[in-house]
Amino acid sequence: MIAHLRRIRSNQAGVWALVDQGLVSLGGVATSVILARFLAPKDFGIYVLLFGAMLFLNTVHASIIVYPLSVRGSRLDRLALGSMTGTFLVLTIVSAVPLVAVLTVAAEVIGAVRLAPWAAGALVCWQVQETMRRALFAELRHRAAVPGDVVAYLGQATLIAALHFSGHLSLRGVFVVMAATSLLGLALQLALLHVQLMNRDAAYTLASEALREGRWVLPSNLLGSVIMQALVWTLALAESPAGAADLQAVINVVGVANPIMFGVANLIMPLMARERVRLSPERAWRRAGSIVAQGGTLLLPYSLVLLIWPRQILSLVYGANSPYSNLATPLRLLVVAYLLVYLVHVGNAALMGAERLRAALSVQIVGTIVLALCGVPMTLLWGVTGAALATGVVHLARAAVCAYGVREAQSNIDASAASLANAI
């Protein structure tokens, strides 16, 4: 009976993980599409580069805050989780100080240092709210996270659209809106956990352990972010920010599938961490494989639509006269690449949930090598089309290494089970 109830709960969590991520991704894509339509290509390119830098810096937060919170929090009762969450919220603010400095340097490089304070504020508020929602995910309370995420992400897109129609749309205003909606979302989610601070000694111990656990996760996440951002920056440096805008415009359209990819990953990591302890590693991997297959099935219809009618979809999103409507070939290439991106992203989430951190790092190292040897040259030679093709090549290599890591993890379980059976 208990196992049956847990299965029902995990199934419900899977549905709400997709719903929540769908709303989050809808808000993110809507924001990017609005800016692509109503900002000049140069300004949109600056936004793409600054936002990309923020995503890159979020990998530090994901490594030393989100990962230990997701894995450790999934095994705690609600009171203990609230205490851990409060301490991690403080650590998030402290760890953001050096990240703000790096973001300021990035803004200087692209000639947008005037936007650095506003982008920095948006970054800190975003990370604080992300910490809170991940605490809810650790309990598989994806449904509870929905109202705050709706405010944070759909609210962001709504207010940015309002800025445009009122004639006040600016990049500074965009980052102010991002910060404000993140704080509003945080306020709604704070009420769902009894958040409190640990004592100083316990907090120091937690911080030390989080840093120790993150030593494998951080390089893995940093390399993963480099892989996702390097081609955008390559285009920007080779063709000006407008080149980065072209690639982001195509990514926006493919990114409609992000709710499935991130929703599945957000569910698999804490689920693997919890079920491999409460049930068995074998059952945890089997459950993860079923979720990944279901997510892949959901991806296929939209992917087929983009492959068959790429120009029509681009014209529908950006307007028939938009320069982005001529990017049909890059879109087709990126659709195929994103199927591989999905497999790698959810596969790595499973490896991290199973604490197979070296295997996850191997995936990123191989991807980075292929990116340097093939991805960047292809982008420099063929522009946005080369970047889309390079994305597929890089993620094909990553997918192969990820599949090997998953298979090795499962083989170790089989070997352990056989040894136990022989001993008995």
SS3 content of the chain, % helix, strand, coil (to 5): 90, 0, 10
Confidence at 3, pLDDT banded by 50, 70, 90: very low
**Structural element, H or E, at residue 82:** helix 78-109
CA distance 323 to 239: 15
What percentage of residues in the chain have a pLDDT greater than 90?
Answer: 44
Domain boundaries, the chain: 2-419
Residue 218 pLDDT exceeds 50: yes
CA distance 410 to 259: 27
Q: Which three-class secondary structure state does DSSP give residue 77?
A: coil
For helices 376-423 and 328-353, what crossing angle results, to 10°? Answer: 30
Q: Which two tokens stand for residue 287?
A: 């459950």
Confidence at 362, pLDDT banded by 50, 70, 90: very high
CB 352 within 8 A of CB 402: no
Residues with Cβ within 8 Å of 413's Cβ and at least 6 positions away in sequence, in order, are 281, 282, 285
Residue found under tokens 């298979």: 407
Confidence at 423, pLDDT banded by 50, 70, 90: very low
Enter the pTM of the model: 0.73
Residue 160 pLDDT exceeds 90: yes
Q: Which two tokens stand for residue 372?
A: 């340097």
Helices (H) and strands (E) in the chain — how many of each? 16, 0
Spatial CA neighbour of 62 closest among 100, 88, 31: 88
CA angle 265, 266, 272 (to 5 degrees): 75
CA distances from 277 to 71, 180, 284, 285, 300 (A): 11, 39, 9, 12, 33
| DSSP-H helix ranges across 110-199 | 116-138, 142-149, 155-165, 171-190
CA distance 142 to 14: 8
